[in-house]
Amino acid sequence: MANSDPVYLRVVEDLRRQITEGLLQPGAPIPSRHQITRKYGVGETAARHALRVLAQEGLIIGRVGSGHRVRQRPDLLPLHRAQAHFSTDMHAVGRRPTCDVKTDSAEARPDIAVRLRIAAQSPVTRTRIVYRSDGKPVQLAVSYEPIVYNDGTDDITQVAHRLGGNGLKLTEVTEHVYARVPQPVESDVLDLPAGVHVLHVERTHWAGDKPVETSDVIIPCDQFRLVYTLPAPYGEQTSR
């Protein structure tokens, strides 16, 4: 089998095997386009295609003039979403966390309105946060609150405290997690290499059955993993 597979796949699979098996350590140089054409007896197109696929998969990284190398794959840093303590998580691994915060007013987009259970185009307070680790931007968040909850004075990053101080008792948080291709502005701000996906977390804080704040958190897949701690399911477990 696999005899009639595209030629470039032969190259991809051989190099991928060498990388995942550790024959090629992180930092090791990958054969150049010309070397691949000679070693594997394929054309330049196939060699280039193979390198692009491997780069897309995050296994190698190319620099103009210098060549491709096996990518350093530092362990994905854990982000503990149950607590959502970005600074705690960063301190735990010896990074210096900072963040930029910008707040303004806007009209709720349709999807945000649905999440907040308000009418579309209702006024909301929008907060954009860029989280940095040792100066490098590593996470984006855009938070929306119905404007009635925001008194405009407290630390905007302290949702729980501020809303709590306003007499709202936050009861739970729901997070919807999926991965997608970054939008151009996101690749730009986070300085993402081509092919890296982002985790998109839609987080909503609830006070009883009322949503009081919702946010979109964008996290590069190649640097972080989300960690959830949940009570064990028991009792009413049904068949799956």
Partner DNA sequence: AGAGTAAAGTTGGAATCACAACTGATGGCC
Partner DNA sequence: GGCCATCAGTTGTGATTCCAACTTTACTCT
Residues that bind its own copies (CB under 8 A): 13, 56-58, 76, 78, 81-88, 97, 99, 155, 157-158, 160-161, 164, 170-181, 184, 195, 197, 199, 205-206, 221, 224-234, 237-240
The number of beta carbons lying within 10 Å of the beta carbon of residue 238 is 5
Segment contacting DNA (CB under 7 A): 31-39, 108-116, 125-133, 161-169?
Answer: 31-39
- For residues 52 to 81, the per-residue mask of contacts with DNA, x marking binding by CB under 7 A and - elsewhere, is x--x------xxxxxxx-------------
Binding-site member from 16, 19, 24, 49 for DNA (CB under 7 A): 49
Q: What residues form DSSP beta bridges with 69?
A: 29, 61
Interface with DNA, residue 6, by CB under 7 A: yes
DSSP structure class, residue 147: G
Binding-site member from 14, 18, 32, 226 for DNA (CB under 7 A): 32
Least distance in Å: CB of 181 to DNA?
16
Interface with DNA, residue 42, by CB under 7 A: yes
Q: 122 touches which of its own copies, DNA, none (CB within 5 to 8 A by kind)?
A: none
Residues 6+ apart with CB under 8 A from 101: 127, 128, 129, 156, 157
Residues 6+ apart with CB under 8 A from 42: 7, 8, 10, 11, 36
Three-state secondary-structure class, residue 198: strand
197 within 8 A of 218, measured Cβ to Cβ: no
